[in-house]
Chains A and B, each alone.
Chain A
């Protein structure tokens, strides 16, 4: 196999893997919500909107620290 062929196969495999990774990530973002302990990523916007020091965290780091 010449170096050019090797590069071409390598290129194809890389692009294919990247497409798989990209779509898996999107799939993950959408399905995470339905899991048992799932999160709705859209609720994370509230980390900015409700950011006073005495606001309740969107998901507190531990129960005992939550005030």
Chain B
């Protein structure tokens, strides 16, 4: 607070205050991977929107143009956030967390329903998904919590208290109902506590308790549409024209791409609209159909590169809080990616989780870039805090 200086030319002060400062440590590789994924997504969204988008190509209504705009907004947000010390966010994490909880509550009351779940706010043309915000807020709060408790989760008390942070958000997301996002939250928590050094015994006991509770969750906690989605996963032919249709056609699209794919805009599953939500949840199937196994491997490589750079951020982080935030964000991206692709390859029931950076959807894209901004903030400041 005391170091607010205007227009000074003192070496360290000037350097640290300048907008131009710190970019040498900025992780350009990470940003390259993210932007490559976004461009990959733009191509896919263009192809996937051909059958239903009827307006001119060069128009802001064009879904790929819109997505590009959101990406631009996202990149700017990332740059801004990366210039902000992440400790500001950690400092206000309680407030952010409470806002998250309130917005999740609000959505249960006023949200728009899509695919059986209430997870959107609609403000005119913009749809906002508060769980995106809540994810980041929760990561920040978890990091803060553990860093205040000696930076580890070895004590059972700390572990249980951290669970108390999770329960309200996960519960609210779960009753939307959004099984997939609940799982993402779970994975974030798991990743954070593992890196925070949880004892293996504690984790095993908690896992056992969770398994024992699973049947009750299945019976009382899961909405009918989710049960249906899971049973369709087992046998999509059971209901070939409804939920199963989506899964089945996704599987056919993906499989039929074979090694090299059918070619850009040549996937007939997509172009003839057999593949549903081709630019959102099933964009991976669209990619698989048009670019094949090779295209999938390229995409995997980009994701792995991005995630590894995220882990690098965790490695470099100057303090525990930064490290745990980085871990949480890596887990967030990893789990969303994994669940989305697992749905596409029929390893997981349909959940409605978009493919990070690739799927059409502004709210997810912007919040992902904000997360990257936080990672950048951690990387750009690692030396500053390491030294103290």
Same complex origin of A and B: no
Q: Which residues of B contact A (CB under 8 A)?
A: none
